[in-house]
Amino acid sequence: MKTMTEFKPGETLKVTLAPVSRLDLIKYAGASGDFNPIHTIDEEAKKAGLPGIIAHGMWTMGNLGKLFTPFLEKGFIKEYKVRFAGMVFLDDVLTLKAELAETSGNNLFFNVKAVKEKGQEVVKGSVHFRLYDAV
Separation of alpha carbons 20 and 54, rounded Å = 10
Residue-level pLDDT, tens digit, the chain, 135 residues: 788 888 999 999 999 999 999 999 999 999 999 999 999 999 999 999 999 999 999 999 999 999 999 999 999 999 999 999 999 999 999 999 999 999 999 999 999 999 999 999 999 999 999 999 865
In the 8-state DSSP scheme, what is residue 6?
Answer: G
What does pTM read for this prediction?
0.92
Separation of alpha carbons 92 and 89, rounded Å = 6
In the 8-state DSSP scheme, what is residue 127?
Answer: E
